[in-house]
Structure 1
Amino acid sequence: MRIDRFLHCIRLVKSRTLAQSVIEAGHVRVDGRRIEKPSEEVRTGSIVALPLHDGVRILKVLELPQRRGPAAEARACYQELGIDEQGAPS
């Protein structure tokens, strides 16, 4: 699934256009690799890191959403990972 569509479907951004602008700015990483194109693929098991609001969110993809559904359905598609004191995922 495209990373821009994934971020939109799991309700982290309000539109795919907004997701595309964050990605093209070079702030998103998938499995530690900087992503610059909205067409890059994300798969089950991938680790996605991106800046949102006033912090960095690190997510593990549990499953790929079929649609942009309710928030509860979207939250079931990813797991929020914590950050330890050194800044690495715990």
Structure 2
Amino acid sequence: MERQRLDKWLWHARVVRTRSDAAALVASGHVRVNGARQTAPGHAVKFEDVLTVALDRSVRVLRVVGFAERRGDAKVARTLYQELKVELPGGG
């Protein structure tokens, strides 16, 4: 598998609880792919894409390093991405 729908990948990676939550998160403009805001849940993500996800009061930056056919447990989900550090403006 070389590509996967953005909402499906977010769900498989356990960033959100349900696929409909993933679709809503994307549709509301809270997800960027390689710096570009995405509003289409069906947007295809590929290996090495960097996702910036605004969740509640936090921001997660994830590099796509894998795909899954089915949603697995948290241990499997963790193999789908590499968490990147968030650099805040002004040091911090």
Same fold (TM over 0.5): yes
TM-score (norm: length of structure 1): 0.90
1:43 aligns with 2:59: no
Identity %: 37
Aligned to 1:69: 72
Secondary structure of the structure 2 residue equivalent to 1:58: strand
1:53 aligns with 2:50: no
**Pairs aligned (count):** 87
How far does the alpha carbon of each residue in 1:5-36 deviate from its partner, in whole angstroms, 9 at most, with x for none? 00001111111111111111111100111101
How far does the alpha carbon of each residue in 1:27-85 deviate from its partner, in whole angstroms, 9 at most, with x for none? 11001111011000011100000112321000000111221001111101101000123
TM-score (norm: length of structure 2): 0.88
Structure 2, unaligned runs of 5 or more: none
Determine which structure has the larger strand proportion and give its number.
Answer: 2
